[in-house]
Structure 1
Amino acid sequence: MESQRTFLLIGLLLVSFLLFSEWQDEQAQSKAEPSAVTQVATSPSNTDQADIPASSEADVPVAQTQAVRSVITVSTDVLAVKIDTKGGDIVEAKLLQHAETHGSDIPYLLLGEFDGKQYLAQSGLIGLNGPDASSAGRPVYQTEQSAYTLSGDELRVPLSYVDSKGVQFTKTFVFKAGKYDVSMEYDVVNATDNPVQVQLYTQIKRSAQDKDSMVDQTYLGTAYGTQDEPYEKYSFDEMREANLNKNTLGGYVSFIQHYFVSAWVPKQDINNTIYTSIRNNQGIIGAKGEPVNIQANSEAKLSAIYYMGPKDTDALEALHDDLDLTVDYGWLWFISQPLLVLLKMLYGILGNWGLAIIGITILVKTLLYPLTKAQYTSMAKMRALQPKMQQLKERYGDDRQKFGQAMMEMYRKEKVNPMGGCFPLLLQMPIFLALFYVFLESTELRHAEFGLWLTDLSAMDPYYVLPILFGASMFLTQKLQPMTITDPMQQKMMTYMPVVFSIFFIWFPSGLVLYWLVSNLISIAQMLIIYRGMEKKGIKVRD
């Protein structure tokens, strides 16, 4: 088992490479996302009639209301939104509490139309008498104001439309202070002598982003949830192969990206059809509700909720039990989510995300101390058995079978597990991976400052201080550990391993490197304590 430590470090390097690739993918993805510094179209968006989902055959005459198409603006304490009066689509959304880049005064642009690309939130009424199903095109709503500003806890933005039969449609967006979710309410008043039928649809439209290279984003696309599938991704490539068509009670549709998400949550007590389509490199995911029959001289209300903002797990879960899964922690989500809760608690106490990372590292290393002790104890015992191991090699020469049997018998008598140094480290890897996704996915760490030169824990260390310190701590750890490797080539590999990791970690987010550095420093302290105790018992640990 001389090469077990080399095997572990190579495995660790491989895992680090995979994590680095994932982080690079996320960075490439974020660069491909909308940028507020890009010229944004100020004219009404191109909401093509072909975007509207199919419904039962429509019989909607040319509208009676004649309105001039325009774009109205809505401002709250967290959102700056533009709504196209044609169709009542949200065609632009800026997040006022999130900067485009670190230190910038320009708010982050989540939705918009720029450079021939679109990212819109659409909604409307189809069905036999839905205005959005008219052959004349989507309705142009009328508004009392061209600009709305939130001054209290709630802001209502009504858009009205009357068709040629006299059916009145009022589409109202309800904004709330401090909230990124917007309620969309339809009031349909049928003042005619005949029944009408409408069907609510809500959808998100975005230009497909193709991969340009191996380091381009691994995923930038849609996701949905149904009664049976809490969270499923559906990529642009999957859209090109087949359109999604699923019936479910409740559900949601979303578009996810690094740190941010937009999602429609329809009413959860009705059956909805989740669908996708793609045309001219424009991908759409949406949900259609059930057809609603409105009798003569009566009215009906239809509604849905749209979220456009950061991946805030608490806010998302409040809208839908499974919507927080769009904060994608991978298959280790059951570890990542508690770690994020713990990280937030520490931030609430310490008031600094860097200190919170140090605090969670201390807690994790303390909880894993029994595994760490088992790991270092096993390595020390293996080191103490090296003279006996050499004797067995000399005794049995090239007879590998007898040597193996004798070696296992020696392990049994000495009560040493040859894999005892591997298993504890392997058991710690899921926690490290889970923390990696916490640092990668959590919006709270975007542009989070620590102090001094570390002004953004989600970005690489600009002066490479942490990677260098990490390499030094790894080198010191190697010097303190009992050496069980006798092969000169493997020893040389071990010598250069800290240099390789230091170079490799240059491109890692500084928050993750901070975690590893502190983890190494704590491991060194724990190692010294464990070895001192073993040496007191007469067990030789180091030369």
Structure 2
Amino acid sequence: MDRNQATGLILIAVMILLYFYFFSPEPIPVEEQTPVTELAEGDKNIESPDSLAQTTETVNDSVQTLLNQQKYGVFANGASGAATENVLENDLVKISLTNHGGKINNVELKNFTTYTDEPVVLINEERNEFALLLNSLGKQIDLNKLYYSANTQTVGDTSVLTYTLNVGPGQSVKHIYKLSNGSYQLSYALELKGLDQYISQESLTYQWYDRIKTQEKDVEMSRRNSTINYYTVEEEFEGLAEGSNSTEEEVVEESLKWVAIKQRFFVAGIIANESFGKGKFTTSIDPDDPSTVKYAKVNLSIPAENVKSGKAVYTYYFGPNDYHILGDVADDFESNLYLGWPPMKWINRFVIIPLFDLLGGFISNYGLIIIIMVLLIKLVLSPLSYKSYLSMAKMKVLKPELDEIKEKHGDDMTKAQQEQMKLYQKVGVSPLSGCIPMLLQMPILFAMFYFFPQSIELRGESFLWAEDLSTYDSIMQLPFTIPFYGDHVSLFVLLMTMSTILYTWSNQQVSTVQGPMKTFSYLMPVIFMFVLNSYPAALSFYYFVSNIVTFGQQALIRKFVDEEKIKVILEENRKKNVNKKKSKFQLKLEEAMKASNQGKSKK
């Protein structure tokens, strides 16, 4: 190719580029087309997008149905649904239930509030979990996870709510709840109709997990009075340790009649018309969670035979831990209100509670009721107080002679004790006569220690500076915490401590106690100041008033006790008992002292 041909080809190429750049036609837009689904032979209709979505949804439903059948077996009809709430309510309690599980969702007590003036809620879905487990042909089915249809009706003064799941022809699951007016008791029945062949074990499993909500001001006091109690068909009342700060667990192999999650002032429990098979119970505490008193777990077996025969009938109790109400719930259900060991328990049941109720029927101020209780009890016990003081006065008259014996036989304790016993015999004085009247009064003092912290009548009742007699009366909040004392100052406890010291000093004026025991008697009030600082104000107020009345009582008795007359009486007894033989008790006591002294000598 020569030079001219090459130049011509270049010019032609430039001209073609310029033409396409400036004069080329606009591209024709491509029309969007709806994708066409390939039709089956003979089908002349093209499916719309809506029909395709419906087809996909149908396929998904079919897959889900298949999955539900694989997971739930015969109960697959209840695997899905919409959750709705139903309410059973009377003048005392409001109970919310849900068709998702046919179970309780919320329980509110209408006549009670928390220390922050909120409604008292014993059950809510955030803090409580229920499960009713059934083994069916190798599958574990939780009946409290299925969906049911609800039906509500009223029969007389009773509201009836029935949750039903129709499984198949003549086959159904029912949860039936009944609530009557004026009652804290919710009746519950479980019915499985036509499903006997699908129950593959001897029992169902009932589970209840409760994160007990803090309702009171003092969470520590609530923890010391909260636990799980149970009652066996053999009529034995038992429970996990209340005061424990560690995890408590107990497995009960024998049949049970009822189980209760007991708080300080409230109880949530379930009672079987027949019985539960066995149970496992656990309580624990998280000290860093003041919103929760305790974690409680209840695991019970329900005999399958009861379910098949229509005897799976139970009663829930959601209400106050009130002695007068609990007795009508079930056998020994009132034991959830712990009143101490005998004889304190008997004193509380047959003396303190009846007296408290009697006074409460006429007086609305509980501070005045406590004062009157002290006066009445002190009046009844005044003969014992008089004997105790008279015995101490006699010992005071004999003190010079007792001191002389100690000086004479100071190195021989056995001989000194023998001589003292001889002196007591001569003058007709028993060294125990002053202790016995005091010991007889002690059970009443200890009975109060159990009664006041759990008396729901005192809850929210104010007196003087105490806003609530059921908790401590704090007059000062400390910026720090004193070990065994707390971070507050209770005025009634301080008054009780000072009055106890005054009462102790008064006793020392006629007592022959010397040495360390005398010092220890002044130390005891200080110890109780630490112990009772976080206890209810009603308790420390009772002890304070009791000390004041006792002090006045002794001052009155002192006017009728003449030490000179006592000396004359003791001298007359000395003359009468010159030739009197020793009693068997005195002989045995002397022998015991000799044996003890010989043992010490050998050592």
Scaled by the length of structure 1, what TM-score is found? 0.73
Deviation at 1:224, TM superposition (A): 1.0
1:108 alignment partner, SS class: strand
CA contact (8 A) 1:160 1:171 kept: yes
- 2:28 match: none
Q: Assess, with a 3 A threshold, how the Cα gap between structure 1 residues 442 and 186 changes in structure 2: closer, same or farther.
A: same
- Post-superposition Cα deviations, 1:217-247, rounded to whole Å, max 9, x if no partner, equal 4564322111224311146999976633322
Amino acid corresponding to residue 318 of structure 1 in structure 2: D
Q: Residue 355 of structure 2 is aligned with which of 324, 339, 342?
A: 342
CA contact (8 A) 2:233 2:275 kept: no
Measure, in 2, the Cα distance between the counterparts of 1:123 and 1:202.
Answer: 6
Measure, in 2, the Cα distance between the counterparts of 1:494 and 1:312.
Answer: 37
**CA-based RMSD:** 4.0
- 1:330 match: 340
Amino acid corresponding to residue 379 of structure 1 in structure 2: M
Amino acid corresponding to residue 79 of structure 1 in structure 2: V
Measure, in 1, the Cα distance between the counterparts of 2:104 and 2:499.
Answer: 51
2:210 alignment partner, SS class: strand
Measure, in 2, the Cα distance between the counterparts of 1:531 and 1:344.
Answer: 34
- 1:509 match: 536
Measure, in 2, the Cα distance between the counterparts of 1:247 and 1:304.
Answer: 15
- Post-superposition Cα deviations, 1:418-446, rounded to whole Å, max 9, x if no partner, equal 22222222222222212211112222222
**1:241-256 mapped onto 2 (5 Å cutoff):** 243-247=251-255, 251-256=257-262
CA contact (8 A) 1:67 1:142 kept: no
Q: Assess, with a 3 A threshold, how the Cα gap between structure 1 residues 470 and 74 changes in structure 2: closer, same or farther.
A: same
2:370 alignment partner, SS class: helix
Q: Assess, with a 3 A threshold, how the Cα gap between structure 1 residues 301 and 227 changes in structure 2: closer, same or farther.
A: closer
Deviation at 1:186, TM superposition (A): 3.9
* Residue 138 (structure 2) pairs with residue 112 (structure 1): no
- 2:511 match: 484
Structure 2: stretches of 5+ with no match in the other structure: 1-70, 214-218, 285-294, 476-489, 568-603
Deviation at 1:292, TM superposition (A): 4.5
Greater CA drift, 71-80 or 437-446: 71-80
**1:52-63 mapped onto 2 (5 Å cutoff):** 61-63=74-76
Measure, in 2, the Cα distance between the counterparts of 1:179 and 1:133.
Answer: 35
CA contact (8 A) 2:326 2:333 kept: yes
Q: Assess, with a 3 A threshold, how the Cα gap between structure 1 residues 96 and 479 changes in structure 2: closer, same or farther.
A: same
- Post-superposition Cα deviations, 1:256-304, rounded to whole Å, max 9, x if no partner, equal 121111111111xx3531312669987223352451476xxxx957421
* Residue 126 (structure 2) pairs with residue 82 (structure 1): no
Measure, in 2, the Cα distance between the counterparts of 1:374 and 1:227.
Answer: 48
Q: Which has the higher contact order (CA 8 A, sep 6+)?
A: 1
Amino acid corresponding to residue 159 of structure 2 in structure 1: L
Measure, in 2, the Cα distance between the counterparts of 1:283 and 1:373.
Answer: 53
Measure, in 1, the Cα distance between the counterparts of 2:426 and 2:114.
Answer: 64
1:61 alignment partner, SS class: helix
1:377 alignment partner, SS class: helix
2:121 alignment partner, SS class: strand
Measure, in 1, the Cα distance between the counterparts of 2:72 and 2:252.
Answer: 26
CA contact (8 A) 1:119 1:204 kept: yes
Q: Residue 389 of structure 1 is aligned with which of 393, 399, 402?
A: 402
CA contact (8 A) 1:254 1:285 kept: no
Amino acid corresponding to residue 531 of structure 1 in structure 2: R
Q: Residue 440 of structure 1 is aligned with which of 438, 446, 453?
A: 453
Deviation at 1:83, TM superposition (A): 2.1
Measure, in 2, the Cα distance between the counterparts of 1:239 and 1:87.
Answer: 30
Deviation at 1:340, TM superposition (A): 1.8
1:385 alignment partner, SS class: helix
Measure, in 2, the Cα distance between the counterparts of 1:184 and 1:394.
Answer: 78
- 1:400 match: 413
Paired-residue identity, %: 25
Structure 1: stretches of 5+ with no match in the other structure: 1-57
Which of the two has greater helix per residue? Answer: 2
Deviation at 1:372, TM superposition (A): 1.5
Q: Assess, with a 3 A threshold, how the Cα gap between structure 1 residues 230 and 340 changes in structure 2: closer, same or farther.
A: farther
Measure, in 2, the Cα distance between the counterparts of 1:261 and 1:82.
Answer: 18
Measure, in 2, the Cα distance between the counterparts of 1:245 and 1:154.
Answer: 36
Deviation at 1:501, TM superposition (A): 4.8
* Residue 143 (structure 2) pairs with residue 143 (structure 1): no
- Post-superposition Cα deviations, 1:390-412, rounded to whole Å, max 9, x if no partner, equal 22233334333322211111111
Deviation at 1:457, TM superposition (A): 1.1
- 1:285 match: 299
Q: Residue 175 of structure 1 is aligned with which of 151, 174, 179?
A: 179
Higher-Rg member (1/2):
2
Scaled by the length of structure 2, what TM-score is found? 0.66
Measure, in 2, the Cα distance between the counterparts of 1:90 and 1:539.
Answer: 73
Amino acid corresponding to residue 118 of structure 2 in structure 1: I
Amino acid corresponding to residue 222 of structure 1 in structure 2: I
Q: Residue 523 of structure 1 is aligned with which of 533, 544, 550?
A: 550
1:393 alignment partner, SS class: helix
Amino acid corresponding to residue 334 of structure 2 in structure 1: D
1:418 alignment partner, SS class: coil
Deviation at 1:98, TM superposition (A): 1.5
- 1:44 match: none
